[in-house]
Structure 1
Amino acid sequence: MRVVALLLPLMTAACAVSQAQEIPNPEIRSEVLTPELTLLFGGGGNIAVSHGADGLVVIDDDYVQMTPKLTAALEKFGKGPARYVVNTHWHFDHSGGNAALGKGGAVIVAHDNVRKRLASDQVIAAFKLKFPPSTPEALPVVTFADGLSLHLNGDTLTAVHVANAHTDGDVLVKWEKANILHTGDVFVRYGLPFIDLSSGGSIKGMIAGAERALALSDARTRIIPGHGEVASRADLVAYRDMLVGIRDRVANARAEGRTLAEIKAAKPAAAWDKDPKAHVRGDAFVEFVFATLDGPAAGQATAQKGKGELIPAPV
């Protein structure tokens, strides 16, 4: 599968593993959401930190190259090392700090498929990348199929699995009292999203994931996307509508007998593909949608045609 102009934060780091000067390594920026919950913006996915009497609960932990800065940022809360880490999915811009935090005593929590993927060879065919298994310290030690709850720091954190969306191991994380929702990469704010066909992602799952996130939110919910600034429910509605609109246009065109090339030529994503600097451009996203109209298995079959180049594990 040919992917056009895919300069995702994920891709940027992957290509840069052997080129240290290109690794995203910005200073970590923080945004206080409540007295017990702070959002950290680093080089990769957004990091949410619950901090209180029960210690630190960290949602995602950036690239491995960001670990020293993340550790320093966590130390500023004065609560000791992280007690729990929840991975929203396996991608290494969200799980790269697992090994260091795990060695420090954190209990790593994730969906069953996240442990399976981190513990085995993986491929992101769209970027022609392969990953060897992660070290034992980086693996989730508590896993679940559908969801779980953690009752810490005066709130209930509920993790809910959404199947075959960005990957096959995505979870949404909701703080019930604070009314804050972390979506991982099921919802992002860098434009058209990346769907990882190699990891079981699909357009149907992305739409279902957005719908589930909407069901978990109301007009007052603050939504932490996998990448980008804090969003509102209205932002998530617009994102869901975008996914549905493009899916319907591609599906209708295929039903009329048009080929992928003909569908791409018609530019069904043009209304949402206006930023020339966007990470994922319209043609690439249309390919993701077309490949998974019949489900994630069809997308994985497409992805298997790609060839990867081995890079170091995300730990």
Structure 2
Amino acid sequence: MRILFAGTPDVAIPSLDALVASDHEVVAVLTRPDARSGRGRTTHRSELGARADALGIPVLTPRGLRDDAVLDELRALDLDACAVVAYGGLIPPAALAIPRHGWINLHFSLLPRWRGAAPVQHAIAAGDPVTGVTTFLIEEGLDTGPTYRLVESPLGATETSGDVLTRLAVSGAPVLRETMDDLAAGRAIATPQRGEGVTKAPRISVGDAQVDFSRAAAEVDRLIRSVTPDPGAWCVVDGGRVKVGPVTVAADQVDSDAPLLAAGELRVTKRAVYVGTADHPVLLDNLQPQGKKMMAAADYARGARLASGTLVRRTDDEDRS
């Protein structure tokens, strides 16, 4: 089949590579426009666009897919199907109608659970024991289209969203390729999604990544892992914003240095930093103050001269004081 591949971040690369190595022809890559980033605000290609450049595949970077000239360009490609992995842009009805077999998305959840932009993050935060990948036909609704293949994958107790996305990007690539094989052979079966069990997974904002240590330790642990590495969990310590790396629930340890603490209260020792939650303290691993690199929590505490009893605050707590 003649395939247009649409995607933007690096999690789309394994699927592009799998289709390039298949019997299908990837005639072009559609990705988000080049963006400025870094201190010098240099213009950079998306990760997928850069990979397509290296493979010698033409790259399309329109700002949207509603323009008639863009639609004509897609029609001229004579497409059998479009494969989508984390494209990040709206695909309007006029574009959806162009390829003969439609736009097929590789989604990182078991639909209809976690429809939306951040399925892995929400699955971890909710404490789901399993996740997986789904290939489905894109329609106008948000991730509502009929499914082709669903493959389960367990969620590890210490995995971050970065860990899981990297893993699913690799394991999902052959699932997308097999779906394209099925479409080409005329054996693909589109199954309507269940009406029950629908959950939403909206994009995670920086505000959503703020840690509330008044919650139970298990919730704190899951929230931090769900937003690691992006956008990164954070809290306010001694008046400054600090990024927080994954933690260990201290109740799981036999450690005399892990006493009961009030929610948000720090206990600082020579080798460790604990913070209280609604039930059990958590052991902080790495912290990153603004403008500096991530470092061991004990090293940060020494440099900042933090004392036991210091309170980790939420920004709204400070605003009310």
Question: Taking structure 2 as the reference length, what is the TM-score of the superposition?
Answer: 0.31
Structure with the bigger RCO (C-alpha within 8 Å, sep 6+) is 1
Higher helix share: 1
Bigger-Rg structure (1/2): 2
